[in-house]
Structure 1
Amino acid sequence: MLKPILIGALLASTTIAPALAQADTDITVVLSEELDLVEPCMATRSNIGRVVLQNISETLTELDVRGDKGLTSRLAESWEDKGDGVWQFKLRPDVKFSDGTAFDAADVKHSFDRVFSDQITCESKRYFADTALTFTVVDDLTIDIKAEPAQPVLPLLMSLVTIVPSETPMEFVRDPIGTGPYKLTEWTAGQQIVLERRDDYWGEAPAVTKATYVFRSEPAVRAAMVEAGEADIAPQITAEVANNPATDFSYLNSETVYLRVDNQDAPTTDIRVRKALNAAIDREAFIGTVLPEGTELAVAMVPPTTLGWNPDLSPPAYDPDQAKKWLEEAKADGVDTSLPIEIIARTENFPNVTEVAEALTDMLKDVGFNASLRMVEVAEHEQYYSKPYPESTGTRLVLAQHDNSRGDPVFSMFFKYASEGTQSGVNDPKVDDLIARASAATGDERAALWSELFAYVHDEIVADVLLFHMVGLSRVSERLDFTPTIATNQQLQLSEIGFK
């Protein structure tokens, strides 16, 4: 059922581009999928964030994923809880955008006004749940942000929104202007993106002077390019080609793979059908075959390192006979179980995604689902992933990968499960109540409420088909001083790369 990767055939049928002439401090990064946008407010989407986030455009705060510093300063030097939902942020002085203009509090206000504007659909907006933010510019380097309801992790939420100049229009841009250490100097759609180091960056000058991003869909080709010296980093490769301990890194990343189920579409309105979807899938069969050893079975939308993790939850058992019984029971009660169920998967979303999607489809067919598969590019995938969902006969299961490297479920649970969540297939008053109370709570109460929500979503409503917590595999040239981390799939900060 699970198809092997024919590495030799891939290499034989694909021409590897000639080596790019470059300086000793220039690098080439080979990515698995092209960028459809270079818009800063979309930088929380992984394919965009790897290029834009903290390279071109920076955030007010940043979570330290390499060490134990926790939340650290970026464009905000400090922050203080003033009470009544108000946080005051002191901004870094003497910062300039790549167009030479000065950074100040008005830019922060405009950046958030833009994110929440109805004239533009920004990815980062969905992380703020139903929190209303009010911005008051105190002076050029001081801004008060009031959250209603009060948001105890507001400084952490500030790590999600990139800051743009006040002059940035309320539409997607092709020439992003940021405060980061690099500026975009070339974007040739379908071929390459080039970032060059700024001489007037406010912080320490990074070692990398220029980064050229190229795109190759085959993981064996990406790995071979690094081996041949034609590229320096391939952030995503597969276990089949990760065979060099000197250059290949394996690490548990912060991504969770799942099938989003719309609980309001027939036939998945019936919980027995949702249970059957889960029982039909042999999750263990994927690990060590098309997914690397170390991949973990998921019981929540977030990785086990997240606040409120519930250790009492277990993955659904693989039981095709029980799946068939649930479908028969639902059919006997008038549920049309013959309605089509289409899996929508994003090409190059993660290594071997096509093989994973094909196997999932076959497993659903084996228990009696009228299942089919459609592989789409990232822009089309977004049309099915976020509301308003297109109408369909039957239902669609969206195969997706969700990142939460920030340690708190607030970055996942509202937009994935709340009735008003932009990527939710759920409409449940108890879910909405738990999310609202957990988001406003602190300490042990916050952890306990998130834990209760995880159990309710998993056991009581069977909201979706949770699959895997993923292992990342990267190949890094031996000339670089760089070790991938939990955040590497979401962002690739050039300032963290050195040379041996």
Structure 2
Amino acid sequence: MKGKRILLGMLMATSVVTTGYAQGAKDVTVVLDEEVDLVEPCMATRSNIGRIILQNVSETLTELDVRNNKGLMPRLAEKWEESQPGTWRFHLRKDAKFSDGSAFDAADVKHSIERAMSDKISCETPRYFGDTKIEAKVVDDNTIDITATPAQPILPLLMTLVTIVPSETPIEFTREPIGTGPYKLAEWKAGQSITLERRADYWGTAPAVEKATYVFRADPAVRAAMVAAGEADLATNISELDATDPKMDFSYLNSETFYMRVDTSIKPLDDVRVRKALNMALDRDAFIGTLLPKGAVKAVAMVPPSTVGWNPDVKPLPFDPEGAKKLLEEAKADGVAVDTPITIVGRTNNFPNVVEVLEAAQQMFEAVGFKTKLQMYEVAEFEKQYSKPYPESRGPQLVAAQHDNSRGDPVFSMYFKYDSKGRQSGISDPKVDQMIADATAATGDKRTEDWKKLIAYLYNDVVADVMMFHMVGFARVNPRIDFTPTIATNSQLQLSEIGFK
């Protein structure tokens, strides 16, 4: 069966791949699972966009090095220090320039921050800053002060999210990003491919890859077969079933957490018994090693276990269908309309077997008495369900999604996932809002303890989500290139990390 599927995938690959991706010795083709709808720098925190342009086309002031475990590293800022409480002074490199030939300076940083935070454009960046206000003040061409209100002790780490654009960039989404990175966008054939070309005038060390072409194939078997056939060099997200060649295939912790957001503002999901019943209805062990890889870990939090403030005392709710039925019966006796149909909203090609996983979950929900329907969306339409303002006409929803946090601190997740004002929050709880604010402002051991308390409260008391799994990824790498995936590969794929054998 497995062999037949691989053969079928190879036949499909040769039928859909054209000869248009012929390449030179230092060119690569990367095959991805879903097409991008944007190449906007301020949306680079969205994984399908970030793995193409983040640090390739658009750079940030600082960078978190997860490959060599060097922590926070300089990028467009050479160094920084807290000049006064809440204010950090960044000293910028003098040798960088944008791909349009213009010089990089502090005015560009100031504009990039103000543009990303503007309410005139729907950037992802503000989601990670919560209710923290950011003000940038130019000191001179190569020095800028950035003030966070309230004071933000990890502001330099947060600056890994702010992509820098020229000060002339309008406050509207662009299809032609201009950046300081080692590559420039050479061509975008909507629905087909994106091509990046190496810049000769890049300020840093020239990467080995001269040109990268990104193509999009939904079927993981096709993606794996393209690499095996030499039609592509890298497929970053294949299924475990297709990861059959130890010479080419790598497994890696990919820092994605798979969960279903519960919209608690709509009945019957406003009842905590219903939310607990949803969690107890799922036999999570049945997914691992079948529809999902053996390395997947049952989740109790939005962040992976390697994150500051991880709480080992929080345990997954047990698979207890009889207990779930009892909770629904109790809620129904109190007048809760537990038979209201609930829509499971999914994102097409979010990960291998996503449809099958959601169909299996749907069957488990219905086995304990829920009525459900499954609705899959492409990424652009899914975003309308995933981020505020949510559709006013929606009924009760479980929005199935993956969230990436490879930066080691819950601040990159908690506000926009759980604060009352968070753009992807399904709850409104003043206690949660205060706990997030306290942990965000804390340092040292207090920060760790504050995050631990929040993780426990969200899972045990609020039951804010149907938490599913911390995911494992599989990548296929053509033997002609030298590349090993990391925890950050799903959200950013730096071409400078690729060499040739």
Q: Tell me the TM-score normalized by structure 1.
A: 0.98
**1:375-407 CA distances to partner (integer Å, 9 max, x unpaired)?**
100011111111111124631110000000000
Q: Is the 8 A contact 2:5 2:221 kept in 1?
A: no
In the alignment, residue 278 of structure 1 is paired with which amino acid?
A: N
Q: Secondary structure of 1:437's partner?
A: helix
Counterparts of 1:391 and 1:361, CA distance in 2: 24
How many angstroms does 1:12 deviate by?
Answer: 5.3
Q: 1:138-217 alignment to 2 at 5 Å? A: 138-217=139-218
Q: Is the 8 A contact 2:311 2:455 kept in 1?
A: yes
Q: Is the 8 A contact 1:438 1:446 kept in 2?
A: yes
Counterparts of 1:233 and 1:331, CA distance in 2: 52
Q: CA RMSD in A?
A: 1.3
Q: 1:202-281 alignment to 2 at 5 Å? A: 202-281=203-282
In the alignment, residue 483 of structure 2 is paired with which amino acid?
A: F
Counterparts of 2:116 and 2:194, CA distance in 1: 24
Counterparts of 1:407 and 1:298, CA distance in 2: 16
**1:98-123 CA distances to partner (integer Å, 9 max, x unpaired)?**
00000000000111111111110001
Query: In the alignment, is residue 28 of structure 1 matched against residue 18 of structure 2?
Result: no
Counterparts of 1:43 and 1:347, CA distance in 2: 20
Q: Tell me the TM-score normalized by structure 2.
A: 0.97
Task: Please name the residue that 2:17 is paired with.
Answer: 17
Counterparts of 1:340 and 1:189, CA distance in 2: 37
How many angstroms does 1:6 deviate by?
Answer: 5.2
Q: 1:416-431 alignment to 2 at 5 Å? A: 416-431=417-432
Task: Please name the residue that 2:456 is paired with.
Answer: 455
**1:237-294 CA distances to partner (integer Å, 9 max, x unpaired)?**
0010101111100011110000000111100000000001001111111111111111
Residues 1:9 and 1:358: Cα distance change in structure 2 (over 3 Å): farther
Task: Please name the residue that 2:110 is paired with.
Answer: 109
How many angstroms does 1:34 deviate by?
Answer: 0.3
Query: In the alignment, is residue 355 of structure 1 matched against residue 356 of structure 2?
Result: yes
Task: Please name the residue that 1:478 is paired with.
Answer: 479
Q: 1:422-441 alignment to 2 at 5 Å? A: 422-441=423-442
Counterparts of 1:252 and 1:131, CA distance in 2: 31
Which runs of no fewer than 5 residues in structure 2 stay unpaired?
Answer: none
Q: Secondary structure of 1:123's partner?
A: coil
The list of structure 1 runs, each at least 4 consecutive aligned residues, that deviate by more than 2 angstroms after superposition, is 5-16, 391-394
Counterparts of 2:298 and 2:276, CA distance in 1: 17
Q: Is the 8 A contact 2:295 2:472 kept in 1?
A: yes
How many angstroms does 1:156 deviate by?
Answer: 0.1
In the alignment, residue 408 of structure 2 is paired with which amino acid?
A: G
Q: Is the 8 A contact 2:6 2:225 kept in 1?
A: no
Counterparts of 2:71 and 2:420, CA distance in 1: 31
Task: Please name the residue that 1:120 is paired with.
Answer: 121
In the alignment, residue 457 of structure 1 is paired with which amino acid?
A: L
Q: Is the 8 A contact 2:343 2:396 kept in 1?
A: yes
Q: Is the 8 A contact 1:65 1:487 kept in 2?
A: yes
How many angstroms does 1:65 deviate by?
Answer: 0.4
Q: Which moved more, 1:186-195 or 1:387-396?
A: 387-396
How many angstroms does 1:185 deviate by?
Answer: 0.5
Counterparts of 1:429 and 1:403, CA distance in 2: 25
How many angstroms does 1:28 deviate by?
Answer: 0.2
Q: Secondary structure of 1:278's partner?
A: helix
Query: In the alignment, is residue 88 of structure 1 matched against residue 95 of structure 2?
Result: no
In the alignment, residue 193 of structure 1 is paired with which amino acid?
A: I
In the alignment, residue 491 of structure 1 is paired with which amino acid?
A: Q
Task: Please name the residue that 1:294 is paired with.
Answer: 295
Counterparts of 2:347 and 2:23, CA distance in 1: 33
Task: Please name the residue that 2:373 is paired with.
Answer: 372
In the alignment, residue 234 of structure 2 is paired with which amino acid?
A: I
Q: Which moved more, 1:361-370 or 1:188-197?
A: 361-370
Q: What's the % identity of the aligned pairs?
A: 66
Q: Is the 8 A contact 1:32 1:218 kept in 2?
A: yes
Counterparts of 2:177 and 2:324, CA distance in 1: 50
In the alignment, residue 93 of structure 2 is paired with which amino acid?
A: R
Q: Is the 8 A contact 2:117 2:125 kept in 1?
A: no
Q: Which moved more, 1:75-84 or 1:225-234?
A: 75-84
How many angstroms does 1:491 deviate by?
Answer: 0.8
Q: Is the 8 A contact 2:12 2:222 kept in 1?
A: no
Task: Please name the residue that 1:330 is paired with.
Answer: 331
